[in-house]
Amino acid sequence: MKKKLISVALGMTILLSFGTGSAFADSKLDKAIDPTIGTEYVGGGVSTNGFDCSGFTMYIFDKLGVELPHQSGSQFSMGTAIAQKDLREGDLVFFNFTGKGLVSHVGIYVGDGKFAHASSSKGVIINSLSQAYYTNGYVGAKRIMSDNTYESAALDN
């Protein structure tokens, strides 16, 4: 019984931190990201055995039927640039934390000012774009999904 209560509490925490306020609650995007929360960071990782940042976005987009390359800089060269104020669920958000090159990290916008990503220190987590660390490293966003793919990803199938 104690394990079941802990599991329910954990599920509610994830639900409240991710699904609430999102047009994608219980969507294909939500259902693809949700089981990956907590997966450890592994450099070069592209599966639930471990992800790096671009491996995570590549894995999630594959679940939505969209092919991405396995490198944040290559992902940044795709799609249409989007202003931060125009972000919608499923847009990719990019950061530079190394000072080298243009992009060193990528995540997926999940709504309500938050994004899911594979953190090198914490694994797959959801953070707020308004946290100083992410605000300071923010490079831009790209819309990768077509409107049809976006609508399909918003549905609960």
**pLDDT at site 8:** 34
Q: What rounded mean pLDDT belongs to the chain?
A: 86
**pLDDT at site 156:** 56
How far are the Cα atoms of 36, 76, 90, 138 from residue 96, in angstroms, in the given order?
A: 23, 11, 20, 7
Distance, CA of 55 to CA of 2 (rounded, Å): 35
Given a cut of 70, is residue 90 above it in pLDDT? yes
CB 126 within 8 A of CB 114: yes
pTM comes to 0.83
Given a cut of 80, is residue 26 above it in pLDDT? no
Question: Rounded mean pLDDT of 29-36?
Answer: 95
- The residues annotated as belonging to the active site are 53, 105, 117
Given a cut of 60, is residue 139 above it in pLDDT? yes
Per DSSP, helices labelled H in the chain are: 2-14, 28-33, 53-63, 72-76, 132-137, 147-154
**pLDDT at site 132:** 97
